[in-house]
């Protein structure tokens, strides 16, 4: 049994958000209402289920992405804080159930519908590094916004220790890991799935994973944007272990691991491109081979400044961003009206609204920023909500259903770059 939650803060922010542009304000209001009304559900035992793409399923990475904008407005709202604590509790429980899984049904298990306190049921065991560390990012954003340290109980400590354990194991995947890709994995249109071949990976200090954030199999198993996310998450965990749990030993282990990963990113995650100079690669095998590309699913190379890994002005990032927004990137598409990133699952001429928002969040060029905001304003097709994909030749044409993930990313853009209230 589940129920919706009322939050006075949602109504307050919707009414008082200081966006002078009427169109942007309407989009913001619709996106925030969508996110609150369609996503979190309070379960009978106090946990909170976050609905993403599939009804009844909860995905670690997506649930974190959907909840981060709510952290930004949660400081003085007890209902919203209750929801966010419930999501954190559910995510930690998912990690303790199976740290390699990415998708769960947290309503029930063992065929007992609605069982109180039932452990989450694993629905997809696709190990992605960003899923493993998503609870860390949500915990950190919540704590920084609210200063509420009630989330740091023994169960959270157990979950964080499990995350650290798996990170250490997957740094030495060949010798220590027992993870195997599910035999029932259906590759569909996944061009990387050549009879589920797992390619060799060097022991570099990088952290192995099987799947990309998009759900595709990795071609090479060191996904560089996720390594960067992990480096940042290790900083968060160091502070939590040291200052909250008084565990200096684990904090020092994390510092050592962070230095190893960071050093390996510099060695195996950067190449000299003949046209763009030094750029970050998307994936590496740690043996000299790599994949040059970037797609729309987060975390990606475009989002590096948002991950906290490098600044917007960083030379390697700027070179990488120029590569990303160029036809040499196989997932870049340039249309008559717009250009941006897509993925394997989208057809010709289609880009994602998420990629337009991400471009706006990672540019310091006022002209580019204004152009992207105009495109975002034109793309809602009268719905005042973010569509999943857009026709790059005519962004006003409705070609897909609306996307809560894009709603959430637009809210981050609005709260951090557009609105003067926060």
Nearest CA among 193, 165, 92, 188 for reference residue 134? 92
Distance, CA of 244 to CA of 241 (rounded, Å): 6
Q: Which of 133, 129, 131 is nearest to 61 (CA)?
A: 131
| CB-count exposure of residue 24 (10 Å: 0-12, 13-18, 19+) | buried
Q: What angle do CA 333, 337, 339 make, to 5 degrees?
A: 25
Task: Give CA angle at 277 (272, 289), nearest 5°.
Answer: 25
Radius of gyration of the chain from its Cα atoms, rounded to whole angstroms: 21
Distances (CA, A) of 14 to 11, 24, 42, 67, 299: 5, 12, 22, 17, 28
The DSSP letter of residue 217 is B
What was the pLDDT predicted at 115?
Answer: 43
Provide the whole-model pTM: 0.94
Helical segments of 46-190, H only: 60-71, 78-97, 129-146, 154-171, 173-176
pLDDT tens figures, 33-58 = 999 999 898 887 778 889 777 777 89
| DSSP codes, 176-192 | H------TT---TT-TT
Which pLDDT value is given to residue 422?
43
| Chain segment 176-233, per-residue pLDDT in tens | 999 998 755 565 555 555 556 678 999 999 999 999 999 999 999 999 999 999 999 9
Model pLDDT, residue 348: 63
Residue 416 burial (CB count, 10 A): 13
Cβ–Cβ contacts within 10 Å for residue 258, how many?
A: 19
The β-bridge relationship of strands 48-50 and 58-59 is unpaired
Residues of the chain falling short of pLDDT 50: 1, 109-116, 421-422
Nearest Cα to Cα of residue 408 among 133, 6, 30, 20: 30
Domains of the chain in sequence order: 152-321 (1.50.10.10)
What pLDDT is stored for residue 37 in this prediction?
92
Cβ contact 118:91 at 8 Å: no
Q: Under a CB-based contact definition with an 8 Å cutoff, are residues 221 and 283 in contact? A: yes
Residue 183's pLDDT is 55
Report strand pairing: 389-391 vs 350-352: antiparallel
User: Helices marked H in 147-294 — which ranges?
Assistant: 154-171, 173-176, 224-239, 248-268
Whether the Cβ atoms of residue 335 and residue 393 lie closer than 8 Å to each other: yes
CA 142, CA 75: separation in Å to the nearest integer? 9
User: What distance in Å separates the CA atoms of residue 371 and residue 410, rounded to the nearest whole number?
Assistant: 15
pLDDT score at 184? 52
Q: Strand, helix or coil at 368?
A: helix
Q: Identify whether the C-beta of residue 120 lies closer than 8 Å to the C-beta of residue 107.
A: no
């Amino acid at each position: 049994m589940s129920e919706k939650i009322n939050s006075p803060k949602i109504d307050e922010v919707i009414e008082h958000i200081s966006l002078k542009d009427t169109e942007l304000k309407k989009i913001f209001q619709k996106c925030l209402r969508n996110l609150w009304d369609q996503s979190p559900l309070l379960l009978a035992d106090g946990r909170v289920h976050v609905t993403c793409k599939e009804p009844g399923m909860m995905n670690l990475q997506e649930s974190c992405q959907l909840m981060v904008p709510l952290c930004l407005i949660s400081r003085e709202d007890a209902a919203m804080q209750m929801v966010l604590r419930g999501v954190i509790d559910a995510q930690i429980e998912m990690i303790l159930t199976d740290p390699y899984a990415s998708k769960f049904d947290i309503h029930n298990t063992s065929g007992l519908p609605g069982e109180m306190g039932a452990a989450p049921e694993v629905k997809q065991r696709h190990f992605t590094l960003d899923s493993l560390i998503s609870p860390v990012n949500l915990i950190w954003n919540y704590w920084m916004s609210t200063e509420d340290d009630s989330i740091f109980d023994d169960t959270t400590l157990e979950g964080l220790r499990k995350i650290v354990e798996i990170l250490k194991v997957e740094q030495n995947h060949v010798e220590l890991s027992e993870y195997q890709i599910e035999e029932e994995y259906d590759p569909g249109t996944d061009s990387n799935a050549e009879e589920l071949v797992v390619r060799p990976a060097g022991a570099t200090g990088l952290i192995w994973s099987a799947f990309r954030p998009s759900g595709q199999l990795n071609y090479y198993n060191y996904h560089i944007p996720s390594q960067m996310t992990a480096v940042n998450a290790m900083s968060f965990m160091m502070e939590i272990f040291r200052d909250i749990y008084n565990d200096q030993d684990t904090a020092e282990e994390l510092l050592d691991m962070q230095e190893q990963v960071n050093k390996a990113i510099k060695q195996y995650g950067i190449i000299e491109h003949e046209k763009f100079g030094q750029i970050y690669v998307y994936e590496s095998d740690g043996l000299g081979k790599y994949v040059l590309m970037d797609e729309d699913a987060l975390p990606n190379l475009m989002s590096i400044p948002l991950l906290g890994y490098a600044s917007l002005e960083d030379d390697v990032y700027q070179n990488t961003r120029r590569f990303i927004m160029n036809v040499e990137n196989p997932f870049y598409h340039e249309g008559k009206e717009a250009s941006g990133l897509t993925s394997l699952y989208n057809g010709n001429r289609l880009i994602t609204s998420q990629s337009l928002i991400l471009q706006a969040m990672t540019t310091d060029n006022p002209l580019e920023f204004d152009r992207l905001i105009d495109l975002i304003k034109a793309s809602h097709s009268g719905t005042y909500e973010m569509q999943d994909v857009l026709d790059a030749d005519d962004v006003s044409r409705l070609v897909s259903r609306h996307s809560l993930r894009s709603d959430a990313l637009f809210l981050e853009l609005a709260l951090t770059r557009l609105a003067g209230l926060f």
